[in-house]
Each structure stands twice: as C-alpha cells, then as structure tokens.
C-alpha cells in the first residue's frame, strides 16, 4: 500500500474517531444539564434517565479506545499522528469521568427529594452546571477547529466555576449553622457542588490537551485553584 493510501486511510479512521468523540461529548453535555434540572425540579424520572444513560457513555469510551488501539496497530502513525490518537484517548477518558459525576448528581436527586429544601441552592447548582456545560461545548469546538485560543479561554473560565463553588460552600455552612435540620441536605448539596467543580477541572484538562495538540506545548502558566474550601471548615463528602 502506498504512503498516500496509508495517509488517506488514517485520515478516515481519525475522522470516524473524532465523530465518536463529538457524539460522546454531546451525550455528556446533555447528562450535565439533565442531572442539574432533575435536582432543581426534583424530577426522579429525569434523574433515572441520566443514570441509565451513563452506560451508553461508558460503552462509547470503550469503543473509542478500541478504535484508537486498532489505528495505532494498523497504521503505524508518525509522532504527530500518534499525538492525535493519544489525545483522543485522554479526552474520552475525561468525558467518561464527567459523565460519572453527572450520574452521581442524579443519584443524589433521589435522596434530596425526601429532605427539606434549602432555599435557592438547587437553582445555584444548576447555574454552576450550565457554566460547566458551556465550557465543555467550547472545548469540543476548540478540539474540532484546532483552536488553541478558544481552548485557553476555557482554561481561564474555570476560575468562574471555582468562584461559584466557593460561594456555595460558604452558603451551605451558613445554612447549617442557622438550622441543624439543614445539615443533611447541605452535605448532599455540597457533594454535588464539589463534583460539579471537578467536572470543570476535567473540562480544563481537555482544554490543556487541545492546546498541546495544536501547539505541541502544554500551557505553561500555573493554573491557581480557586477552590478555597480546604482552608475553611471541611464538610465530609459522604
């Protein structure tokens, strides 16, 4: 087989894998929004849909990994092409983990449905989840368009998610001190807020991977973590 045919076959394989990454990304975006909506509206049916849908996300990650391994074995990619394939594996792993966090949020909906509501907290959590979903949408666009600048903007946006988390953390502490009946629901809500903040970190990891893919260099600026909760009174994540 000529080099041209090998290159053409590799391009087709890569396009197919990238299409699967975008499909997986869309499924994860939907899971984030649906999980947050189910929490806010106490919609147990929607929460169950998110939990059931996580299996499809897991299967897609497995398929992407299998395809990536097959391409490496059959196409003998160059160093640059190998970087592309390895980035696919890392991105799909991050997406799968974000999907897990969305599933965990949906699981908490069932528990919180039987507990007293904490005023305004579900709405704030949904706003935070929408911020993360927006970051994910942008980073997937950056990946497809090979746009390092857009990926860098996503990295900077993570500070907003951290700020939201810190605000919620302090809010939950206040609610718990005001009324002991708020302790259990606030602990569950904190668990959800922390998981959402971690989703933002994973999206940021994808953005860093995109920057590396496009430029060959990882972002060299130290990314300070905006999560200040470790310096405050810690809440168990149960």
Give the DSSP per-residue string, 108-134. Answer: HHHHHTTS---TTHHHHHHHHHHHHHH
- pLDDT at position 222, please? 54
Q: Answer whether 46's CB lies under 8 Å from 107's CB.
A: no
Q: What is the mean pLDDT of each run of 10 residues along the chain (238 residues)?
A: 56 88 96 94 94 95 93 78 87 97 93 86 91 96 94 95 95 92 93 96 96 84 53 40
pTM for the predicted model, two decimal places: 0.86
8 A C-beta contact, residue 90 and residue 7:
no
d(CA 227, CA 169): 10
pLDDT given at position 2: 43
Domain boundaries, the chain: 3-231
pLDDT of residue 225: 56
Predicted local confidence at residue 4, as pLDDT: 43
What pLDDT score does 5 carry?
42
CB 190 within 8 A of CB 237: yes
Contact 39, 109 (CB under 8 A): yes
pLDDT at 237: 41
**Which ranges in the chain belong to alpha helices (H)?**
3-41, 44-75, 79-112, 121-145, 148-178, 183-215
Fold of 3-231: Methane Monooxygenase Hydroxylase; Chain G, domain 1 (1.20.58)
């Amino acid at each position: 087989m000529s080099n041209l045919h090998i290159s053409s076959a590799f391009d087709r394989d890569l396009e197919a894998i990238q299409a699967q990454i975008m499909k997986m990304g869309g499924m994860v975006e939907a899971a984030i929004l649906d999980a947050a909506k189910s929490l806010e509206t106490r919609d147990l049916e929607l929460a169950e849909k998110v939990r059931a849908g996580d299996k499809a996300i897991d299967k897609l990650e497995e398929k992407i990994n299998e395809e990536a391994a097959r391409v490496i074995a059959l196409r003998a990619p160059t160093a640059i092409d190998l970087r592309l394939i390895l980035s696919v594996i890392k991105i799909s792993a991050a997406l799968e983990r974000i999907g897990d966090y969305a599933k965990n949020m949906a699981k908490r909906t069932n528990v919180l449905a039987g507990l007293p509501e904490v005023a305004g907290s579900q709405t704030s959590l949904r706003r935070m989840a929408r911020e993360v979903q927006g970051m994910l949408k942008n980073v997937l666009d950056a990946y497809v368009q090979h746009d390092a600048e857009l990926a860098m903007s996503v990295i900077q946006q993570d500070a907003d998610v951290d700020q939201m988390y810190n605000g919620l953390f302090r809010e939950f502490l206040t609610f718990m001190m005001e009324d002991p009946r708020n302790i259990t629901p606030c602990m569950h809500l904190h668990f959800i807020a922390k998981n959402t903040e971690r989703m933002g970190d994973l999206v940021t990891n994808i953005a860093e991977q995109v920057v590396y893919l496009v430029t060959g260099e990882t972002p060299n600026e130290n990314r300070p973590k905006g999560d200040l909760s470790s310096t405050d009174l810690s809440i168990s994540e149960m």
